Amino acid sequence: MSYAQRRLAQSQQTERNILRSALELMREKSFDKVSIRDICKQSGISTGAFYYHFPSKEALLNKGFSPLDDYMEEVIRDHEGDPPVEKLWLILSAYAQFMENGGELTGRDYVRRITDPTTRSMDGTRYTLRAMVDCFRQARAAGLLSSDKSPEWIADFCYRHFRGVVIDWVLHNYSYPLLPKMEEDYQLFAGFFQGKAPDASTSPA
pLDDT tens for each residue of 107-155: 777 776 777 666 655 566 778 889 999 999 999 998 888 878 899 999 9
Question: Are 90 and 76 within 8 A, CB to CB?
Answer: yes
Could you tell me what percent of the chain has a pLDDT over 70?
Answer: 87
Considering only CA atoms, which of 43, 158, 28, 24 is closest in space to residue 89? 158
195: pLDDT strictly greater than 70? no
Give yes or no: residues 3 and 81 share one domain: no
CATH number for the domain that contains residue 11: 1.10.357.10
Q: Three-state DSSP class for 205?
A: coil
Q: Which of 25, 46, 62 is the last residue of a domain?
A: 62
Question: What is the predicted pLDDT for the residue at 13?
Answer: 87
Q: Which of 42, 62, 82 is the last residue of a domain?
A: 62
CA distance 83 to 60: 36
Give yes or no: residues 45 and 55 share one domain: yes
- Domain ranges, residue 155: 64-205
Mean pLDDT value across the chain: 82
Give yes or no: residues 107 and 199 share one domain: yes
User: Residue 167: which H helix or E strand, with range?
Assistant: helix 151-171
Picking from 11-25, 64-78, 174-188, which range would have the lowest pLDDT averaged per residue?
Answer: 64-78
CA distance 80 to 93: 16
CATH number for the domain that contains residue 73: 1.10.357
199: pLDDT strictly greater than 70? no
CA distance 130 to 46: 35
Q: Structurally, how many domains does the chain consist of? A: 2
pTM for this one? 0.69
Question: What is the predicted pLDDT for the residue at 90?
Answer: 92
| 24 or 136: which leads in pLDDT | 136
